[in-house]
Amino acid sequence: MTDRAARQWFDLAFASSPSGMLLLDARGCIQLANDAAARMFGWQPHELSACDVDVLVAPDSRRKLHKLQERFARDGRRRLPRADVELLGQHRAGGEFKIAVGVAIVDGDDGPNVLVSVTNLSRRQRTEARMRSQNDALRDAVTRRTAELEATNTRLLAQIEERRRTERELIAAQKRLQEMNEELRRLALIDDLTGLANRRRFDARFMVEHQRAARSKSALSVVLLDLDHFKPFNDHLGHPAGDACLRRVAAAVAGCLRRPADLVARWGGEEFAAVLPETPSEGATQIARAMRQAVRALAIPHPTAKSGVVTISVGVASLGVTESPSPHALLEAADRALYTAKSRGRDRVCVAVPSKARAAAAEEKGAGQ
């Protein structure tokens, strides 16, 4: 694995980890914090950047933390703790809670850094208590059932079959629970109607790709699209027809992406969004054109549209189109380009272009044809 690939893998794993993750320098200053860590302590990730890690630890535990830092500074990798260290965390609002801290060393550009994983023990303890209660209830139920079976010792064969039935039910219940957990994990990232990524997954992926593009000075484009006159479509044909239309449009739009790194998501309602890493404006415009043509090729009848069929308006924006390097500015530029496409008659692609007047978008030549 190349250094670049390893870094990309590290960034993705760090950002998407469900556990709280912090990257510290040798002095205990926070360089990076993922969303899980920021939420746990009541901060935003960017607010923790350059803060001392002491702000996340209750005063009673700071002495213990400082000893751990001194040990790292003195011995480095040779004396890392073999197990998680328990401390008292401090929420931004002032509350204290138990945490477990794991430490690892990673090599950075300026020397070794400390990678810290943080687990909220209070939540885990509540989960363990709930599981113990459920186990106790299950044991009580099994005990009662066993007593009933033993009371009918003259029907031994029936007792054996009853035990086997209970075991089968427990296995089936465990399987159903596992399936439910898998479905919950899937629903957390997938739009149920279209099967595309949902807004939550898009936002997380977009932030990772924006950070990577800013760091590596590579291209990044965003495509926002919206179904034209979708409310009248629903009003005339009904919501079941509207849902079927959204599913067909989603499949057509997704089919225009060819690279594994590209991601298309349902942005909300009848809006969709795509993030295109390492794709400059020209390439993103070609993909946007293909999306528009693919939706037109579906020839879904629209009872009120002038074209007679369902169409989309598309806005495209790429890094460098705005003076601000923020992810929000890039999305706003794409949204303004989409608004321009709709205000100029819909069924077209508009591309955001840079200017001192911050003109939102320039209509793509021939986009409406």
Active site (catalytic) residues = 270
What sign has the CA pseudo-torsion 224, 227, 228, 229? Answer: negative
What is the rounded CA–CA span in Å between residue 330 and residue 321? Answer: 7
Per DSSP bridges, beta strands 263-268 and 96-108 are: unpaired
Find residue 189's DSSP bridge partners.
Answer: none
Instruction: Supply φ then ψ for residue 258, to 5 degrees.
Output: -115, -20
Take residue 66 and report the two structure tokens written for it.
Answer: 């400082």
Site of tokens 């086997």: 164
What is the number of H-type helices and E-type strands within the chain? 11, 11
Instruction: Kindly provide the b/e burial profile for residues 121-143, where b requires at least 16 CB atoms within 10 angstroms of the residue's own CB.
Output: beeeeeeeeeeeeeeeeeeeeee
Structure letter (DSSP) for residue 318: E
Q: Which amino acid is at 151?
A: A
Q: How many residues does the chain have?
A: 369
